Structure 1
Amino acid sequence: MQSHQGQPPAYAPPPPYSDRPMVHGTTTVITTAPAPAMMPAVIITPGPAVGSQPTILNCPSCQAQIVTRVESSPSVRTHLIAACLCLFIFWPCTCLPYCIGSCNNADHYCPNCNVYLGSYKF
């Protein structure tokens, strides 16, 4: 039998992230699990009720009472209506959905700070 008098006793490291303190000699070693990464809080607030016409409301960005600036933009539905008109031999009328305001989305912007406020979808 060999003696290990000159060597320190074999040391086994504590298991990682245990929940209870482990005692080694006279020193208490406390290991805990790392804190989970904090996820940013996402708060979803409903936008202002907007329609296809300019709307009076308070801008959430500049806090001013404004009448929204409305810009029309074609939607996927507008393109589909134009494609159907073209396919069914009404090709001279293909541009009509782009000219009719009720076939386009109405995007609302603040006239003071130009922030996007909402959209009225066709």
Structure 2
Amino acid sequence: MNDKGRMPYPPQTQPPPYAPPAPQAYPEPAPQPYGFTANPPPTTSTVTVIQVPTGTILGPMSTCVTCPSCHAVVHTRVDHEPSSRTHMFAVLLCIFGLWPCCLFPYCMDSCQNSMHYCPACGSYLGSYKN
């Protein structure tokens, strides 16, 4: 009893200690047009990254580049390979009677293509054709 002689609540009407609120009913979703789903199924996508050279111009000499394979900043290793132009110069020297000089185009780097490789991983980086 309280100080005025009344009971705070009648015994049958006391509130429960805690009662969670009653769940609310949500309205039904509106019908969707044919072929449309409100929650499309999850899709998996594959992302392919293609690295394009940044416009580094390869010349007949070694060049400082970033290797697209190992991502190292290196000076390229240059190998010289004979081309059809090298063979043509050798044949022309033979035709004009300078057959002792026909091997000169094979010894001169300026008459051959320059193939650039990464010295760290050995991948092909590009070529310079004369």
CA distance in 1, matches of 2:57, 2:67: 12
How many angstroms apart in 1 are the aligned matches of 2:68 and 2:74?
Answer: 11
Question: Matched residues in 2 for 1:75 and 1:105: separation?
Answer: 6
2:60 maps to 1:52: yes
Structure 2 counterpart of 1:90: 98
- In the aligned structure 2, how far is the partner of 1:94 from the partner of 1:88? 10
Q: CA RMSD in A?
A: 1.9
Q: In the alignment, does 2:91 pair up with 1:120? A: no
Give me the whole-angstrom Cα distance separating, in 2, the residues matched to 1:102 and 1:45.
28
TM superposition score normalised by structure 2: 0.58
Could you report, residue by residue, the CA deviation over 1:94-122 in whole angstroms, capped at 9, with x for unpaired residues? Answer: 00001111001100000011000000001
CA contact under 8 A between 1:68 and 1:110: conserved in structure 2?
yes
Q: Give the distance between the partners of 1:116 and 1:109, measured in 2 at CA.
A: 5
Q: Given the two structures, how large is their TM-score scaled by the length of structure 1? A: 0.62
Following superposition, the deviation at residue 48 of structure 1 comes to 3.1
- Offset from partner CA, 1:63-89 (integer Å, 9 cap, x none): 000000000000000000000101110
Instruction: Quote how far apart the aligned CAs of 1:49 are.
Output: 1.1
- Find the counterpart in structure 1 of residue 76 from structure 2: 68
Question: Which residues of structure 2 form unaligned runs of 5+?
Answer: 1-47
Greater Cα shift, 76-85 or 46-55: 46-55
How many percent identity over aligned positions? 52
Residue of structure 2 in register with 1:103 after alignment: 111
Structure 1: 5+ residue stretches without partners: 1-40
2:84 equivalent to 1:79? no
